[in-house]
Amino acid sequence: MISYVLVFFVIVIAVLSTLLVGHSQENKKASPSYGQNMGKKWTRLTMFYVIAAAASIILLAIYIVSL
């Protein structure tokens, strides 16, 4: 059970860190065109996290079953 909590905690930290970087003022100043096409960027980022989370859970389950 602790493994699930740990995986979930790491995923939440990764999502929050990505959001903080994406909304930072330094990022907007360095690249003024960053705000364009946000829908495509958010869709790709969300899909990446969904795929990474699913893969992590599947691999964790395989690991637990093989113990």
Given a cut of 70, is residue 34 above it in pLDDT?
A: no
Q: What are the counts of helices (DSSP H) followed by strands (DSSP E) for the chain?
A: 3, 0
Q: Are 56 and 5 in contact (CB under 8 A)?
A: no
Domain range for residue 24? 2-65
d(CA 41, CA 62): 32
Given a cut of 80, is residue 33 above it in pLDDT?
A: no
Identify the DSSP state of 36.
T
Please tell me the total count of domains within the chain: 1
Across the range 13-26, mean pLDDT stands at 83
**The whole model's pTM is what?**
0.52
Given a cut of 90, is residue 47 above it in pLDDT?
A: yes
Given a cut of 90, is residue 62 above it in pLDDT?
A: yes
Across the range 6-28, mean pLDDT stands at 84
